[in-house]
Amino acid sequence: MVTTHNLGFPRIGRQRELKFALEKYWKGTISAQELLKISSDLRAQHWKDQSMLDWIPVGDFSLYDHVLDTSFMLGNIPVRVSSLPGNEIDNYFRVARGRSVNDHSACSCVNAGEMTKWFDTNYHYIVPEFERNTRFSLNPDHLLQQIQQARQINHQVKPVILGPVTYLWLGKSKDGSDKLNLLDDLLSAYAQLLNELEKVDIQWVQIDEPILAMDLTEAWKHALRKAYYQLQATSINLLLTTYFGQLQDNLQLACELPVNGLHLDAVIAKDEIAKIIDWLPSHKILSLGVINGRNIWKTDLTETLDWLEPIYARLQDRLWLAPSCSLLHVPVDLDSEQKLDQDVQSWLAFAIQKLQEIEVLAKALNQERNSVAEILQENSAAITSRKQSKRVHQAAVKARVLEIKEAMGTRQSPYQQRAIVQRKKFQLPLFPTTTIGSFPQTQQIRQTRRDFREGKLSESEYRQAMQKEIEICVREQEALGLDVLVHGEPERNDMVEYFGEQLAGFAFTQFGWVQSYGSRCVKPPIIYGDVSHPQAITTEWIQYAQSLTNKPMKGMLTGPVTMLNWSFVRDDQPRADTCMQLALAIRDEVLALEKAGIQIIQIDEAALREGLPLRKSQWNTYLDWAIRSFRITANGVKDETQIHTHMCYSEFNDIMEAIARMDADVITIETSRSDMELLDAFDQFHYPNEIGPGVYDIHSPNIPSVDSIIALMEKAAQRIPAERLWVNPDCGLKTRHWEEVKPALRNMIAASRYLSSHLSVAVQASQI
């Protein structure tokens, strides 16, 4: 018989129950007990939702983040927090978000743990902190309680834990010591944990080591060997799981580690499975993640069965089936959707539907295909309908992509010549000031958008209200004295959704929420078909904004790579192809803006860096098509039109050369939090065009002083010639309040003025 299981279930709830409970708790409107009750009800519900499986996961739920939970289970709590008064939940939220509900005044806040992306997903975890003398002490109570709770619902439970080596890998050494020195102590905590689980008769433990899909040095490979040789003392069966990538050079290692089973991402690493079956010792079970846990498409069940049947014939009871990875990365239940187009809906599967697919596959293998004939037929009909749908395939779009000429991605003249034309035209001072696009999204702005969506405002009432907001924003910027203005983006709910809604080929869900971090969720658009641009999207707004001022007004767009990386993307063509369709669509918008008289256009590529593949060997392929897409989008304009781009994560030391290839006239990046350390990269690589290193950390309510901004810019000017520097915040201002934004920008502008009068003299003097 085939065994079915799941690696992890979304925690947030069908209606984002966990989000709302957390936010109420943080506000003080519900108690910790109430929060824990809601969490426990959610877990119970989710276990019921998974009851078609042979094994259900326990320990995958989290109030904020499972890596943070692991830190707490291992007693690895930063000293700055563990020394504070309060109980565990206070400390938990102090590390998660810098304060507990009992920390009333701002001064009692502590630094939250750093947050970063979970592999190549959009989920963020709290980075474990290590020091030379970090010692672990196990506290398994929460996990044990959850096991007990799950058993009451009468299930076979399989605890899910983050593997020790991946846990170390994900953390950060705070004092420069080698994290791997902590392995021995960490392993004794894990051994103790397995011991505790043994005591409560656990049979299988899922132990996640996704770093097996990454480039590993010998030291890390050795750590994995050592870890699993030590942990094999337990009588519990260990199911070692890897996901998100191929094993490649770690394949043999993964097969040989002394565990009882191995789980693989059989979607992304499908080509490796045959080899793994050959390598895997015959006493081990093999769990195949055959259903994609990273996207929302229905699986072609017949095709999957064709592939699985011979594998099952060979492995028999040793075969387990599961989604490729935790379902944390997909929404909960497609059946919640009331407004999706019927065709599109019939092509989709969310977490629950994906588990049903597992159930069907298992039944077809355990009994025979006939036992699920009807379901297979329905599934085939949906797969065929998607393959042939006119909504998906637009011949004209495909033809246009084929006709792309490289010249379309190349500016008329090189930057040095364009810069001369642009300087003459814009007559900007040295150290020109600008912002990244959005201004505070006030209650009123949100309410206006809601009213319009709900039909309470007519189109023209809505337009008037938004024009008023734009006017307020322009007047404020003029009063402050910014050099290049923006319209403030009041009409945009989200930088990807806003454009997606107006392009063909996109669908939007009502409840397709996916956890991004803590209580924050995103609702990624679904790109289901060929993308095109039926009509201009932003020209009217930007033209209106430009009509209010003599200063240059930037047109603001979201770039193709960011649109792609923040959406659920179709799986029936390469990502690069979808990206190129997006590039053409946004290119149309760029050209429409230029035609409408807009002279500066910013194309945000906030998410370009985070799309980098896990394996370095694949970086160049990604960068090649990503940069090409950006160039096609941006570079069809005249020399005198100035192209800006913006990127959020600026740790791009290693991709600087690729970023230079984008050939934007100006790039603005996030650097303020790192005290400009990120600009060290400019020592090695001389970035050729203009750059605005963010000098104001918009993620914090603090107002930067004039002196601190001058100091940051002086650091920047040591590496980049002053005439190519801009002064700007490090991201959009949408989440801030006007009372914070105004003084901060005032200081930013004062710093720019100081710099242009002092530093330019100094720069000239040094050149003599």
Interface ranges with ligand GLN (CB under 6 A): 436-438, 489, 495, 556, 604, 606, 646, 648, 731-732, 734
Q: Between residues 202 and 606, which has the closer beta carbon with respect to ligand GLN?
A: 606
The nearest distance, CB 672 to Zn ion, in angstroms, is 12
Say how many residues make up the chain: 768
Q: Between residues 231 and 733, which has the closer beta carbon with respect to ligand GLN?
A: 733
Q: Between residues 307 and 498, which has the closer beta carbon with respect to ligand GLN?
A: 498
DSSP code per residue over 398-463 = HHHHHT--GGGGS-SS-HHHHHHHHHHHH-PPSS-B---SB----HHHHHHHHHHHTTSS-HHHHH
The residues that bridge with 514 in the sheet, in sequence order, are 522
- Among candidates 708, 726, 715, which has minimal Cα distance to 667? 726
The nearest distance, CB 558 to ligand GLN, in angstroms, is 8
DSSP code per residue over 350-361 = -HHHHHHHHHHH
Spell out a b/e string for 178-217, using b for 16 or more CB atoms within 10 Å of the CB, else e.
ebbebbeebbebbbebbebbeeeebebbbbbbbbbbbebe
- Phi, psi for residue 704 in degrees, rounded to 5: -70, 140
C-alpha distances (whole Å) from 517 to each of 267, 330, 348, 538 are 25, 14, 24, 30
C-alpha 107/C-alpha 336 separation (Å) is 43
C-alpha distances (whole Å) from 68 to each of 95, 96, 332, 518 are 8, 8, 23, 11
Q: Between residues 60 and 604, which has the closer beta carbon with respect to Zn ion?
A: 604
Q: Between residues 21 and 648, which has the closer beta carbon with respect to ligand GLN?
A: 648
* Interaction partner, residue 594 (Zn ion, ligand GLN, none; CB < 5-8 Å by kind): none
Q: DSSP letter at 370?
A: G
C-alpha 597/C-alpha 510 separation (Å) is 37
Here the tokens at position 5 are 């299981």
The nearest distance, CB 602 to ligand GLN, in angstroms, is 7
Catalytically annotated residues: 699
Chain position whose Cβ is nearest to ligand GLN: 732
Q: Between residues 123 and 130, which has the closer beta carbon with respect to ligand GLN?
A: 123
| Alpha helices (runs of H) in 596-731, residue ranges in sequence order | 619-634, 656-662, 681-684, 706-717
* Interaction partner, residue 604 (Zn ion, ligand GLN, none; CB < 5-8 Å by kind): ligand GLN
Instruction: Give the 3-state secondary structure of 128-151.
Output: CEECCCCCCCCCCHHHHHHHHHHH
The nearest distance, CB 138 to ligand GLN, in angstroms, is 40
The nearest distance, CB 604 to ligand GLN, in angstroms, is 5
Number of H helices, E strands in the chain: 28, 21
Chain position whose Cβ is nearest to Zn ion: 731
Q: Applying CB under 5 A, which residues contact Zn ion?
A: 606, 648, 731
* Interaction partner, residue 556 (Zn ion, ligand GLN, none; CB < 5-8 Å by kind): ligand GLN
The nearest distance, CB 647 to Zn ion, in angstroms, is 7
* Interaction partner, residue 545 (ligand GLN, Zn ion, none; CB < 5-8 Å by kind): none
Four-residue CA torsion sign, 331, 337, 339, 343: positive
* Interaction partner, residue 438 (Zn ion, ligand GLN, none; CB < 5-8 Å by kind): ligand GLN
The nearest distance, CB 698 to ligand GLN, in angstroms, is 9
Q: Between residues 76 and 728, which has the closer beta carbon with respect to ligand GLN?
A: 728
Here the tokens at position 299 are 């699986």
* Interaction partner, residue 65 (ligand GLN, Zn ion, none; CB < 5-8 Å by kind): none
